[in-house]
Amino acid sequence: MSEPERIDTLVLGSGEAGKYLAWHMGRLGRRAVVVERKLIGGSCPNTNCLPSKNEIWSAKVADLMRHGARFGSIAGSPSVDMKRVLARKREMVEGLIATHLELYHASGAELIMGTGRFVAPRTLEVDLNDGGKRLLTGDRVVLNLGTHATIPDVPGLAAAKPMTNVETLELDALPDHLIVIGGGYVGMELAQAYRRFGSRVTILETGTEFASREDRDVAAALLEILEDEGIEVRVGVNVLRVAGQSGRAVSLDLSAPDGGGTLEGSDILVAVGRTPSTRGIGLELAGVALDGRGIIAVNDRLETSAPDVWAVGECAGSPQFTHASLDDFRVVRDNLSGGNRSTRGRLIPYCLFTDPQLGRVGLSEAEAERRKIAVRVAKLPMAKVLRALTISETRGFMKALIEADGDRILGFAMLGPEASEVTAVVQTAMLAGMPYTGLRDAIITHPTMAEGLGGLFSNVPKR
């Protein structure tokens, strides 16, 4: 084996945390190298977060056109050009990739396109995409391996070549009948988008409850919204076998409380969760331990079982959000410079980008009940928010959890327009330790969605 190149900070995978750490170290004058197999910048700008929200917005425009008469614009039924939808998304992705390359150049960090595999502790052999090999050893190694869509072990499913979110966002023609296996975030978002583009859509959820991660009132409202748009949602369904080819014609044999039967469609989207991309890259040779789920075992400083090796993002079990991975970067960065930053107690919000959006931060009612935390609950229908009336989008509600014996905000949920932005307002108040009365009595711009927080927190029951 040839002598390896010596690297100060060696990052495997160019996702959010890894690329930011490499740029940071590069700006400090350290030799930082990122090894990336395919996606410059990771999955978020290429195949996941941003591309999906791009196409979801195209679907929103189609829906507004379809209901234009309600707003006084008579445009007729829209004809969706999926080739243009795809082109718009690709234009955005190409711009994001160009921005990433500029940041690599400006920081001094090196991006190596190739497939890395550990051959010894902190030592990678990289098969370069354009041919040849490089052997690299890092004084520090950061694993930013990400995850990939899980394909269930159902007879005939893999042979049918189903789509994941990646392939779905590359469609340039509209599926006639899209069957979505899985009712999680990806399944709901893309089901609604493709229904609005014009596909017939069926969601198959294995669990006995739809959106079981959410409180029952939230899940019921989400289900009603999707069904009102013409999406068929079936719960408690198991796919027994699949025949045919996704993109042409498929047939699914089902078992369900209603008897199951056979469901026929044109395309399958599998959205049942994600699997860590940790297998087959020699982590055992690097001394890096995995847990039973294939996730890299880390402590609250994101240190692995191997000295001077960190793991960040989804492969380390962090919440599957880009903003969580960005904070992983800050944890490692600050601790490398002598800090004592931890992943414990992080207040991480999330948003489901259906229309309307669902934003959540802190405790849900169900979580509070499981943990035996006494709370006061306040709710406000979106129909009571004046901004929602102006745009005729009044479905959903706001909900807040306040500690029973104090005034701290413990949780917030909003199913309504711009929920992601309003959630950030409440999160900020929670981080600052502000009592709910601070938002109740704040002078908030009229008419905005956030103005509804005044009405919501005015509804908090007395102690």
**pLDDT digits 0-9 by tens, 187-234:** 999 999 999 999 999 999 999 999 999 999 999 999 999 999 999 999
Percent of the chain scoring above 90 in pLDDT: 96
Burial 370-395 (b: 16+ CB within 10 A, else e): eeeeebbebebbbebbebbeeeebbb
Query: For the chain, what is the mean pLDDT?
Result: 97
Mean pLDDT within 357-365: 98
Domain 158-272 has CATH 3.30.365.10: no
List CB contacts of 262: < 8 A, sequence separation 6 or more. 251, 252, 253, 254
Q: Where exactly are the structural domains of the chain?
A: 5-148+275-336, 158-272, 356-458
* pLDDT tens profile 116-131: 999 999 999 999 999 9
User: Tell me, what's the pLDDT at 74?
Assistant: 84
pLDDT band, very low/low/confident/very high, at 458 (cuts 50, 70, 90): very high
- Judged against a pLDDT cut of 80, whether residue 331 lies above it is answered with yes
The model's pTM: 0.95
pLDDT band, very low/low/confident/very high, at 259 (cuts 50, 70, 90): confident
Query: What is the domain class of 356-458 according to CATH?
Result: alpha beta
- Judged against a pLDDT cut of 80, whether residue 76 lies above it is answered with no
* pLDDT tens profile 155-178: 999 999 999 999 999 999 999 999
User: Tell me, what's the pLDDT at 183?
Assistant: 94
Please tell me if the domain spanning 5-148+275-336 has the same topology as the one spanning 158-272.
Answer: yes
User: Tell me, what's the pLDDT at 361?
Assistant: 98
Counting Cα atoms < 13 Å in the Cβ hemisphere of 181 gives 30
Omega cis (within 30) before 78:
no
> What are all long-range contacts of 212-215, with beta carbons under 8 Å and residues at least 24 apart?
213/184, 214/358, 214/360, 214/364, 214/413, 215/364, 215/365, 215/366, 215/399, 215/413
Distance between CA atoms of residues 341 and 345, nearest Å: 11
Mean pLDDT within 93-104: 98
Q: Which fold has domain 5-148+275-336?
A: FAD/NAD(P)-binding domain (3.50.50)
User: Tell me, what's the pLDDT at 177?
Assistant: 98
- Judged against a pLDDT cut of 70, whether residue 456 lies above it is answered with yes
User: Tell me, what's the pLDDT at 1?
Assistant: 55
* pLDDT tens profile 131-148: 999 999 999 999 999 999
* pLDDT tens profile 291-307: 999 999 999 999 999 99
User: Tell me, what's the pLDDT at 310?
Assistant: 98
Distance between CA atoms of residues 376 and 380, nearest Å: 14
User: Tell me, what's the pLDDT at 343?
Assistant: 98
User: Tell me, what's the pLDDT at 258?
Assistant: 78
For the ranges 67-71, 337-341, 452-456, the lowest mean pLDDT is seen at 67-71
